[in-house]
Homo-oligomer: A and B are copies of this chain.
Amino acid sequence: MRDVRMRGFAQRMDVEEVERLLRARLAQVGPDGGSGAPLGAEPVPLLEAAGRVLAEAVEAGVDVPGFDRSAMDGYAVRGEDTFGATDYGPLTLDVVGESYPGRPFDGTVAPGQAVRIMTGAPVPQGADAVVMAEVCQEKQGRVEVRDAVSPRKHVGPAGEDIRCGDLVLREGRRLRPQDVGLLASIGVPSVACVRRPRVRLLVTGDELVRPGEAPGGARIADSNSPMLRALIGRDGGEVSVEHLPDRRERIRAALEAPGADVILVSGGSSVGQEDHAPGLVAELGSLDFHGVAMRPSSPAGGGRVGEAHVFLLPGNPVSCLCAYEFFAGPSIRTLGGRAWRWPHARVRLPLLRKISSQVGRTDYVRVGIEGGKVVPIATSGASILSSTVRAAGAVIVPRELEGMAEGVQVEVLLYGGVDELDLPAVSGAENAG
């Protein structure tokens, strides 16, 4: 039996210090030297572009609409032909054709003429206004007009939505459903988007059975990798998972293999004798932080191996979640052109019971929401994954505070959507209720 060195961390970095370090490191890399997304661009077909981040600004190459269009169902006319028309003194025009969306009237509207027109259809040559159907009466090829319209009335001019040459979407925009609609409206078949970060997830631990397999005896299930997969997906990463034995050479090979933008190591991240990863990262690249003044997740670490940003996530599931959210998640999002900021929906509500912490340490506190108040969940065990399942979200107690008093308003980072919260309605419509 070997003699074993068992020790704690000599010193811990502050959360803010680690965040500054990571942000500085992320700003250095990438093809363009830093501003914007560090990763390169790839073409993405229009129908797959929702949620992706634009790598380049998009300019319109066409007017939208490309023609003057009718904003009403009615009759396209020369406005001046209607001057003087009233309920008591209607004017009569000859109906010489019709204009439908996609099937325009090909002729020209001459003085004394009108063309029946549908909403969205091109306004024919010669006409400069549309009379609403409601003030017209059509009989035997003629239409009685009972109201005057000035030129341009009810006509949406070419380019009223978008003008050719307009900058319609900026670089860095995360595409929303309507953005994709807009791209379609200018006839764009694909757009240049920031490549999704490639994340290699290394799961170490001889005691682990694969997700979906039954734990038993001294073996427990790997619960971290399914959780991390979902988190990485949320943050726009593409994940590959490798389960590795606690053997130094296997972990070394997986750290050194090319092709990953980010490597997450789940488990074996601390300072015990089976914790190979920290030493390997230091040996193969640089171990930039290891040991953080936070609870949970104090054994979290990170550094670089080659081009890959490496994060060491403690094996305890709550610590793993917390270390991911503070360090790995923001880095993955930033690499992919998204925001460093946490993506959680937030609510501000009063604390039902005080939260105790320590000055100099950042705490990630799981909380419930009951009757519109925030309830800290009693357990502090980093091994109790079920506490994060019972929780509605987390409250972060910053380093400067020794806690938060009962009754103060705190911001809850929600684990689910706001639509899942049972909160009182805040606005009139049913949808908000």
A residues contacting B by CB (< 8 A) are 1, 3-4, 6-8, 15-16, 19-20, 45-47, 50-51, 62, 64-67, 69, 71, 73-74, 95, 97-98, 100-104, 116, 118-122, 133-134, 136, 138-139, 141, 156, 160-162, 166, 168-169, 174, 176-190, 205-209, 211-231, 233-234, 270, 272-274, 315-317, 321, 325-326, 330, 333, 338-346, 348, 362, 381, 383-386, 388-389, 396-401, 410-411, 415-420, 426-433
- The CB with the most chain B CB atoms within 10 A, among A69, A134, A141, A184, is that of A184
- Give the chain B neighbours of A389 by CB distance below 8 A: 168-169, 176, 178-179, 182
A187: which of B95, B214, B339 is its contact (CB, 8 Å)?
Answer: B214
Known: A168-B386, A184-B226, A339-B420. A220 touches B15 (CB 8 A): no
A226 touching B420, Cβ below 8 Å: no
A418 touching B346, Cβ below 8 Å: yes
- Give the chain B neighbours of A179 by CB distance below 8 A: 389
Q: Show 5 A/B contacts (Cβ-Cβ < 8 Å), sorted by A.
A: A15-B430, A50-B233, A103-B207, A177-B321, A362-B429
Known: A73-B6, A429-B15. A177 touches B101 (CB 8 A): no
A331–B223 CA distance with the chains assembled, in angstroms:
34
A386 touching B66, Cβ below 8 Å: no
Closest partner residue, chain B, to A23 (CB atom): B430
- The CB with the most chain B CB atoms within 10 A, among A46, A218, A415, A432, is that of A218
A321 to chain B, nearest CB (A): 6
A19: which of B134, B218, B431 is its contact (CB, 8 Å)?
Answer: B431
Copies of this chain, tallied across the complex? 2
Known: A45-B212, A223-B181, A427-B396. A102 touches B218 (CB 8 A): yes
A156: which of B168, B205, B213, B381 is its contact (CB, 8 Å)?
Answer: B381
- Give the chain B neighbours of A182 by CB distance below 8 A: 223, 385-386, 389
- Give the chain B neighbours of A418 by CB distance below 8 A: 341, 343-346
A212: which of B46, B214, B217 is its contact (CB, 8 Å)?
Answer: B46
A385: which of B178, B216, B400 is its contact (CB, 8 Å)?
Answer: B178
A326 touching B431, Cβ below 8 Å: yes
A230: which of B8, B50, B416 is its contact (CB, 8 Å)?
Answer: B50
Closest partner residue, chain B, to A347 (CB atom): B346
A432 touching B229, Cβ below 8 Å: no
A397–B431 CA distance with the chains assembled, in angstroms:
12
A178 touching B1, Cβ below 8 Å: no
- Give the chain B neighbours of A431 by CB distance below 8 A: 19, 325-326, 330, 340-342, 396
